[in-house]
A and B are shown apart, each in its own frame.
Chain A
């Protein structure tokens, strides 16, 4: 009966790819395991304080909204670095993912600063990379799982040497359309371009995040969560994965 405390960063600004679907999945899957899940919005000017949240979420926005929050996020950078070092989990999708890197370099100098929480940077590309994606991930040694989703980004994200990607691209563009990798993972922090939204059709990742959040809450090891039937989730994953295999990664 532990309440998982989720801090949702800028929900009024960064919500373009149905980010609330990810939140709904986290909340329901916690409740189905008899945990409570409280979501607090962290908006412009709101502080981030150590110990207040177990899991943070940053979604994607349109360019204009993203620029509006980028500056505010700089003011939260050191606090965010501190809570993550303290074991809080974080999921950042699309625009949120770019903001966690060192920044976004546009074509005409319309740069967007990032907070450098993840070892990567993003530069504008000429053609948007749009389509279905399928990844293979191994967040826990020996546990290979697939993630299916949809990507839509102009930015090419390059990971620093030695940085850990979220997964290997089985179909789709991924970070930059060249490296064969997608997303970035650093401990309990995950950044990715995959929306769709990400978690409904990939419930194992939702459970992994909940488990990391519970570990932060209790100060112990990530617990094993009771399995759920997930039949609809499996079907949705299969259809999405099939779309990626058939038509992902093509301009």
Chain B
């Protein structure tokens, strides 16, 4: 066996690699040093995490984990110095890199990939865990939803007793995980006025885990998330300890809600749109509370967060503005579309579909997205990315006229074409998949319009 080098030496070597990676422009060095460290010594992550005096906290979910973790970070910033993988590098290597980069951190706050959760729960032994949602996503990479849920169940079972679990009670799979663990905290939405009239096409987990009967929904909010119950009485949404009530959605601009906790209530104003962000905020509230934050701190932190976040998605380009909305799976894309439609559906749209590993190599999910509500006002589509033609077919067979579709696989040319078609003073909406989003951000940074993601303050 090879003798293990001292931890300090490994850290030094890995940091040199991070600096080099940035210097040669190979990206933010967000995972490379972690990969090196993990290769030198797989147990180093465990020991780095052990050195954090306030322990670690973890957020995992199919959708919204980056936003949720960033919200928690903003709420907790006055209390703790954080080690946080803010750039979304959420595998073991990304967590290792974040641990390396944060000197003198007190608390580790990590968003974690659904597939990597079991391993990271074992390695980090977190004091608090937030499970946000499970939607079908990248079946080619993660396998079926049921398998992911099963792995989550097993690894939560193995957690030490003093680890605090907060879970989205509106998700039937997670509700089952939470109910099986005494002392865990249920969060969710409670406002039937903003519910959807029916379950969406791509809804998952809509059959009772015990008897297979379709759940009845008193309210369905996002995908299969909602106030569900089995008609045969096997399983229902558990009572909410942390709830978002009196929800107000204001198109593409804002959302607000009453945050209800056992310690009291507070109105939360988000400069972020959409019901999915209400879910992110209530998840962040539940986790921050488990880490000691008061209701007032939570509301103030979410307010600060949304002020910073506005700049993240909207970018000024001369006298025009870009609005980038990440789409990566049916549930997330449906919420982005619902938010767009509520805010006044655009007449021009750039959609960029890539099929790299991080996007999912199987692009069939675009056929499960309900793009149709956009079609009534859509006059022009620029389809881009490596699978631009497939995307164009999705809109064509959805009913968009062939003459309204332009196929432009190059992101740069698609962006320029979109901007050219956008009138002065107007906003261009771009819906990219994950690697297309990174590509666009890089382009935008090269033109000096905004900071690349790794240089943004957390």
Interface residues of A (CB under 8 A from B): 12-13, 15-18, 20-21, 24-25, 28, 62-65, 68, 128, 130-132, 150, 152, 195-197, 200-201, 229, 232-233, 235-236, 238-240, 243, 247
Could you tell me the distance in whole angstroms from the C-beta of A115 to the nearest C-beta in chain B? 20
Contact of A21 with B140 in the complex, beta carbons under 8 Å:
no
Q: Is B53 an interface residue (CB 8 A)?
A: no
Assembled-state Cα–Cα distance A147/B65 (Å): 37
Q: Is the CB of B136 within 8 A of A201?
A: no
B413 at interface by CB-CB < 8 Å: no
CA distance A165 to B345 in the complex (A): 47
Q: Within the complex, which residue of B146, B361, B364 is in contact with A197, where a contact is CB–CB below 8 Å?
A: B364
Task: Please name all residues of chain A whose beta carbon is closer than 8 Å to the beta carbon of B140 when the two chains form the complex.
Answer: 130-131, 150, 152
Establish whether residues B393 and A200, one from each chain, have CB atoms under 8 Å apart when the complex forms: yes
Q: Is the CB of B146 within 8 A of A63?
A: yes
CB nearest to A198 among chain B residues: B364
Q: Which 6 A-B pairs have the closest CB atoms?
A: A21-B367, A18-B367, A235-B389, A18-B364, A236-B389, A62-B144
Partner of B362, one of A20, A196, A247: A196
In the complex, chain A residues whose CB is within 8 Å of the CB of B355: 243
B24-59 residues at the A interface, CB under 8 angstroms: none
Q: Is the CB of A232 within 8 A of B402?
A: yes
Q: Which residue on chain B has the smallest CB distance to residue A19? A: B367
In the docked arrangement, what's the CA distance between A18 and B367, Å?
Answer: 5
Chain B residues with Cβ under 8 A from A247's Cβ?
361
8 inter-chain pairs at a CB distance below 8 angstroms, sorted by A residue, are A21-B364, A25-B397, A64-B146, A131-B140, A200-B397, A201-B390, A232-B405, A232-B407
A24 → chain B closest CB, angstroms: 5
| Contact status B390-A239, CB under 8 Å | yes
Give a binary string over B341-364; 1 marks a CB under 8 Å from any A CB, 0 the rest. 000000000000001000001111
CA of A247 to CA of B356 in the docked complex: distance in angstroms?
12
Task: Collect the chain B residues with CB atoms within 8 Å of residue A239's CB.
Answer: 386-387, 389-390
- Bound CA–CA A235/B365 (angstroms): 19
B residues near A232, Cβ cutoff 8 Å: 389, 392-393, 396, 402, 405, 407
Give Cα A243 to B407, complex, Å: 18
Considering the complex, give the chain A residue whose CB is closest to the CB of B204: A62
Contacts of B80 in A (CB 8 A): none
B398 within 8 A of A: yes
Closest to B366 in A: A18
Cβ contact within 8 Å between B201 and A15: yes
CB–CB A16/B402 < 8 A = no
Contact B212 A196 (CB under 8 A): no
Tell me if B368 and A128 are in contact (CB < 8 A).
no
Nearest residue (CB) in B for A67 is: B212
* Chain A contacts for B392, CB-based, 8 A: 232, 235-236
| Other A-B pairs, 11, CB within 8 Å; known A17-B139, A130-B362 | A15-B202, A24-B397, A28-B397, A64-B207, A68-B212, A152-B362, A200-B390, A229-B402, A232-B405, A236-B389, A240-B390
Q: What residues of chain A lie closer than 8 Å to B396, measured between beta carbons?
A: 232
Given the known interface contacts A18-B367, A20-B201, A131-B361, the answer about A152 and B139 at a Cβ–Cβ threshold of 8 Å is yes
Chain B residues within 8 Å of A63, by CB: 144, 146
Interface flag for B145 (CB, 8 Å): yes
Q: Which of B214, B363, B367 has the most CB of A within 10 A?
A: B367
| Chain A residues positioned under 8 Å from B139 (CB to CB) | 16-17, 152
At the interface, yes or no: B267 with Cβ under 8 Å from chain A? no
